Amino acid sequence: MLKLKNYERFSFNEISKKAVEKAIEKPAGLDTKLVEVQETRRIIDCLYGVELKYREMRKWIKNLNINSWKKMN
Extended beta strands in the chain, E state: none
DSSP string, the chain: ----SS--B---SS-SHHHHHHHHHS-B---HHHHHHHHHHHHHIIIIIHHHHHHHHHHHHHHHHHHHHHHH-
Residue 19 is assigned to a structural domain of this protein: no
Question: Average pLDDT in the 55-71 region?
Answer: 66
* Res 17: pLDDT: 93
Residue 64 is assigned to a structural domain of this protein: yes
Taking the C-alpha atoms of residue 46 and residue 61, their distance in angstroms, rounded to an integer, is 23
Residue 63 is assigned to a structural domain of this protein: yes
Domains in the chain, number: 1
* Res 18: pLDDT: 93
Residue 26 is assigned to a structural domain of this protein: no
* Res 67: pLDDT: 57
Report the predicted TM-score, pTM, of the whole model to 2 decimal places.
Answer: 0.42
Residue 4 is assigned to a structural domain of this protein: no
Q: pLDDT digit string (tens) for 2-49?
A: 566 777 888 888 889 999 899 899 988 877 888 888 888 888 778 776
Range of the domain at 66: 31-72
* Res 4: pLDDT: 65
Q: Do the Cβ atoms of 30 and 7 come closer than 8 Å?
A: yes
Residue 62 is assigned to a structural domain of this protein: yes
Residue 17 is assigned to a structural domain of this protein: no
Residue 54 is assigned to a structural domain of this protein: yes
